[in-house]
Structure 1
Amino acid sequence: MTDTLSFADVRAHLLARREIALIDLREEHPFAQAHPLWAANLPLSRIEPDARRRIPRHDTLIVLYGEDDAGEDLVPRAAALFAALGYTRVHRLEGGLEGWREAGGELFRDVNVPSKSFGELVEHERHTPSLSAQEVKALVDGQANVVVLDARRFDEYQTMSIPTATSVPGAELVLRVRALAPDPATQVIVNCAGRTRSIIGTQSLVNAGIPNPVAALRNGTIGWKLAGQVLDQGAVRRAPTVLGEAIRTQAQADARGVAERAGVQWIALAALHSLEAPDRTLYRFDVRTPDEYAAGHLPGFASAPGGQLVQETDHHVPVRGARIVLADDDAVRAPMTASWLAQMGWDVHVLAPVDAAAFSETGAPGAVHSVGAQRYRRPYEGTDAPAEAMQAYLDWEFGLVAQLGRDGTHHFRVI
């Protein structure tokens, strides 16, 4: 018999910032149709391979809910799996998803909702500058003094990109922008597929104080397609990997300033154990590129490129209230990533610079976003999404700030 926790119990934990993992056991597609803000999707089919990585502490408070397509309650089977893996504090959400709704709990659509709603809040509060697809196309076609930087993963960029765009995944922007736009008069445009990563990327450059005019491509490649404009496919332009000392030094100073304003703390490798406590979960992430991680990384650190970590925080860190420590080898990408996680209400630290020899482990990163059998097809991925689906997705994003206000558990604070 699995103990139950009510909507009020879960909400009290979230408001008090006590550790809790609210787990939706359904496959990703039904999860995307409706779930609480801080629910993390861990399908029943993925518990055995993924639970230890995603919920590392066995005495974490875990709350389960979910039914399959046939209406079968998944909690008993899931609770047995968690118990077999050694987890000791597994509970059922009283009334399940319907009980959450009936108790007045807000329900959200889509995936990575904490990050996407946070991005909308950033734009709402900071008035992040943006340009329409038509305005950006006119700049590109007119060969204006402009660079377009694509903040998504490289594989997403290759699938479809804005003409002339260069791949600069989110955490790389502050580190590499001065090499790509050395003239302070150059207009910098940041894009993603929809809105979140372009908003966060643009605001990162604004927060860091780069001298260039900066703007997001409003609504990303979705906006480009809805305007009837043509996207490139198979592009291979990437930011330079070798940077001048002056560029690196300026980026370090900029990143440290942003992180300090956000309340990020630094910690030495030798003191890392001080963040470990019997009742606290500690996630360790290397925010550099997957290729850099594979070539050598710190023992015990998982690969989570910074832009994607901010975009998919709920997947990487399903235990709300946990601690996070980030590492890089340049003192730019980790503090910039940490600045955003801190604004999202996470207890986050940056590892102080360590000797290069400490990056001793090699090997490709493991799976960071495995899903079950029913993957949710994002309206912004690929090149064949119907226009009405893309527009509906944008309309949904525009309403997220109001949903955050009704939910009231987010602890977001925009600097």
Structure 2
Amino acid sequence: MPQALISPDDVKRRLRAGEELALIDLREESFYAAGHPLFAVNLPLGRIEERIAALIPRRDAPIVLYDTGDGRVGRALPVLERLGYRTLSVLDGGLEGWRRSGGEIFIDVNVPSKAFGELVEHVRGTPSLPARELHDRLARGDDLVVLDARRFSEYTTMSIPGGRSVPGAELALRVRDIAPSSATTVVVNCAGRTRSIIGAQSLVNAGIPNPVFALRNGTIGWTLEGLALDHGATRRAGPVSAAAHEAARRAAAGLAERTGVRLLDAAGLAALQRDDRRTLYRLDVRSPEEYVAGHLAGFRSAPGGQLVQATDEWIGVRHGTIVLADDDGVRARMTAHWLRQLGWNEVYVLAQWGELPVELGPEPVRLAALPPSVETISPQALAEAAPRPVIIDLAPSPAFRKGHVPGAVFAIRADLEGHPELVAAGDIVLTSTDGLSARLAAPDLAVGGARVRVLDGGTAGWRAAGFDLETGLDEQAALSAPDDVYKRPYEGTDNAAAAMQAYLDWEFGLVEQLGRDGTHGFRVLEASVTDPV
């Protein structure tokens, strides 16, 4: 059915007015990262069924779709309608229409959070140390600690020598035990700038008496200075003492109150869940390990520091309602006080779990509809198949490079329909990391004469059955160019110096871009006199 067009100016008006709105970019991530509106959320056409239920849980949420005139909107609309999404519109003119209207175009990913971090430093003057000065202080044996605010997986890949992993939401909870003397200098780092700034400013906001600094430009700055990083480090914070916990709880409660965070009990949560006029996000901000050990039913795992750094990876509807949970009275409040500053108007903290149902284990996959019934093939049967079928792997390109079924070719799902190399294929086996993407994509190919099957358990099932994997990606054999994932200049250990410097230069210009954009609604907490706690 024909869809209503919405003008870029109307989208901007709704964003400024605080109305719910999901602005969806249907391109692959690498193209999205090359330019998009500030609050556009990346949801590639071929990943809609996998991701939309978590990003946009309410079927009546207002959704605005755009592409670059490549037909993705037309292909996405029937998918969304089939999944039950009812309030759909199309951005008039697509991305180019946004540009022509005077809308600001931002590059990279997780831009709202990164731009906000730059604004925080600009407004609050967050203290920072250059890499060389930190190196010299460490070499002298100065009284200082280095706390890495990233995810543990990022920390263990590369870290500042002597640093320990304390992901962002954990900082205010654990710093007093790590640095019990007020004379100890605390340096917070990440790979680039955002989590360093937000982490350091978290400790300043929480009123710890120690000298606090962000490591200027993070591990990028360290590397550009020619300094060596650690690899494989496993240092973490220890347990939290009762005195430190109470001090952190008092500070977090004060910050939550100052920024307008609301507290919620079980009855209040139930009332929000019954309100079908709002899009509700329920997020557990504790560590992934704690989440697996027991979490509230219906809550997703969103470690607090990462949630502030990449809010758009969990929350697809700008101005949706957010409920955060922890079990310590610190991490949810610290996270919430940042989300309020990020312009989210409805931010709640669940004050106590009470008798609410608790689940164990990892976060379940959330799908908007049951996956289709498909014909499957076991790893053993595939290994013995003769002649060998065409094996297509729909995993993200970095996962494909790390390991895939021997002979499999890489493809992006959106490229499969009508692909000339598949027209004459008589026997096709689809796989993906765990098989879900392959199962969802199978009906796309099951319209011709080919037999289409899905590898049972996906590539993980193949490996679990004892079969070896191939590595690398042959772009000549691939059905798609591996442009589905944007290579972050601040992750991994093989980034070129020019790319890292260009990334820093871009971040330095974000505050000016925010001023031109005019839709952000950020409100940085002003400084106040805080008694040491």
- Coarse TM-score class (shorter-chain normalised): over 0.9
Q: Give, as a single letter, the amino acid of the residue that structure 2 aligns with 1:389.
A: A
The CA deviation at 1:319 is 0.1
* Cα separation, 2, equivalents of 1:353 and 1:278: 24
Amino acid at match of 1:409: T
2:109 counterpart SS class: coil
Deviations 1:230-265 (A, max 9, x none): 00000000011x221111111100111111111111
- 1:359 to 1:249, Cα distance in 2 relative to 1, 3 A: farther
Matches within 5 A, 1:106-117: 106-117=104-115
Q: Does 1:225 align with 2:226?
A: no
Higher relative contact order (CA 8 A, sep 6+): 1
Measured in 1, the distance between the counterparts of 2:25 and 2:492 equals 26
Partner of 1:6: 7
* 8 Å contact kept, 1:55–1:318: yes
Per the alignment, do residues 295 and 332 of structure 1 end up closer, same or farther by CA in structure 2, a change over 3 Å counting?
Answer: same
Residues 134-167 of structure 1: CA deviation (Å, up to 9, x unaligned): 0100111111101000000000001100000000
Task: Report the secondary structure of 2:490's partner residue.
Answer: coil
Does structure 1 retain, via aligned residues, the 8 Å contact 2:54–2:314? no
Q: 1:371 and 1:318, CA in 2 relative to 1: closer, same or farther beyond 3 A?
A: farther
Change (3 A) 1:118 1:164: same
Instruction: Measure the CA separation in 1 of the matches of 2:7 and 2:503.
Output: 31
- Superposition deviation, residue 278 in structure 1: 2.3
The AA in structure 2 aligned to 1:392 is A
Q: Which amino acid aligns with 1:353?
A: Q
Residue 261 of structure 2 is aligned with which of 258, 261, 264? 264
Residue identity opposite 2:216 in structure 1: R
User: Counterpart of 1:384?
Assistant: 494
Where does 1:237-252 land on structure 2 (aligned, <5 Å)?
237-240=235-238, 242-252=239-249
TM-score by length of 1: 0.96
- State the alpha-carbon separation in 2 of the partners of residues 167 and 316 from structure 1: 23
Inter-partner Cα distance in structure 1 for 2:325 and 2:261: 13
Distance across 2 between alignment mates of 1:285 and 1:176? 21
- Structure-2 separation of matches of 1:275 and 1:121: 32
Tell me the amino acid that sits aligned with residue 175 of structure 1: L
Q: How does 1:47-66 map to 2 (within 5 A)?
A: 47-66=48-67
For residues 166-190 of structure 1, the C-alpha deviation after alignment (integer angstroms, 9 at most, x for no partner) is 0000000000001110111000000
Q: Distance in 2 between matches of 1:135 and 1:358?
A: 50
Q: 2:20 aligned with 1:19, yes or no? A: yes
Q: 1:348 aligns to what?
A: 347
2-structure distance, mates of 1:314, 1:408: 19
Q: Give the deviation of 1:365 after TM superposition.
A: 2.4
Q: How many residues matched?
A: 409
CA–CA distance in structure 1, aligned partners of residues 349 and 310 of structure 2:
19
Q: Is the 8 A contact 1:43 1:371 kept in 2?
A: no
Aligned residues: CA RMSD: 1.4
The residue type equivalent to 1:261 in the other structure is R
Instruction: Decide which moves more: 275-284 or 33-42.
Output: 275-284
1:353 Cα shift?
2.3
Question: Helix, strand or coil: the match of 1:189?
Answer: strand
Give 1:281's aligned residue.
279
Letter aligned with residue 107 of structure 1: I
Counterpart residue type for residue 11 of structure 2? V
3-state DSSP of counterpart to 1:179: helix
Q: 1:371: how far off? A: 6.7
Q: 1:301 to 1:199 in 2, by over 3 A?
A: same
The reply on whether 1:153 has 2:151 as its aligned counterpart is: yes
Partner of 1:139: 137
Looking at structure 2, the residues matched to 29 and 219 of structure 1 have their Cα atoms a distance apart, in angstroms, of: 23
User: Of 309, 334, 337, which residue of structure 2 is paired with 1:336?
Assistant: 334
TM-score (norm 2): 0.75
Structure 1: how far apart are the matches of 2:140 and 2:222? 17
Letter in 1 for 2:291: Y
Match of 1:185 in 2: 183
Question: What is the aligned partner in structure 2 of residue 236 from structure 1?
Answer: 234
Cα distance between partner residues in 2 of 1:188 and 1:414: 22
Match of 1:75 in 2: 73
Structure 1 residue 194: deviation in Å? 0.2
Hey, what's the Cα distance between the residues in 2 that align with 1:400 and 1:313?
A: 17
Q: Distance in 2 between matches of 1:266 and 1:371?
A: 39
Residue 397 (structure 1) aligned with residue 396 (structure 2): no
Mean CA deviation greater in 124-133 or 269-278: 269-278
Q: How far is the alpha carbon of 1:354 from its aligned partner?
A: 2.8
**DSSP 3-state at the match of 1:337:** helix
Structure 1 contact 119–200 (Cα < 8 Å) conserved: yes
Q: Distance in 1 between matches of 2:218 and 2:509?
A: 17
| Structure 1, unpaired ranges of 5+ | none
Question: What does residue 381 of structure 2 align with?
Answer: none
| 1:267-307 per-position Cα deviation (integer Å, ceiling 9, x unaligned) | 11222123342221010000000110001001111100000
Match of 1:102 among 97, 100, 103: 100
C-alpha contact 1:46 1:371 (8 A) present in aligned 2: no
| Contact 1:297–1:361 under 8 Å retained in 2 | yes
The amino acid across from 2:148 in the alignment is D
Deviation at 1:72, TM superposition (A): 2.5
Output the CA distance in 2 between the equivalents of 1:371 and 1:118: 29
Mapped to 1, the partners of 2:353 and 2:269 lie a distance apart of 12
SS at match of 1:284: strand
CA apart distance, 1:359:
6.4
Cα contact 2:266–2:356 (8 A) shared by 1: no
SS in 1 for 2:3: coil
Q: 2:138 & 2:221 partners in 1: Cα distance?
A: 16
Mean Cα deviation higher: 149-158 or 244-253: 244-253
Query: Once the 2 structures are TM-superposed, how far is the Cα of residue 109 of structure 1 from its aligned partner?
Result: 0.3
Instruction: Read off the aligned partner of 1:111 and give its amino acid letter.
Output: V
Q: 2:375 corresponds to which residue?
A: none
**Structure 2: 5+ residue stretches without partners:** 367-394, 398-411, 413-483, 526-533
Counterpart code for 1:274:
A
Q: Which has the larger radius of gyration?
A: 2
Sequence identity percentage: 60
Tell me, yes or no, if the aligned pair for 2:36 and 2:106 is still in contact at 8 Å: yes
The answer on whether the counterparts of 1:283 and 1:325 sit within 8 Å (CA) in structure 2 is yes
CA distance in 2, matches of 1:84, 1:53: 17
Residues in 2 aligned to 1:271 and 1:38: alpha-carbon distance in whole angstroms? 29
Contact 1:27 1:371 in 2 (8 A): no
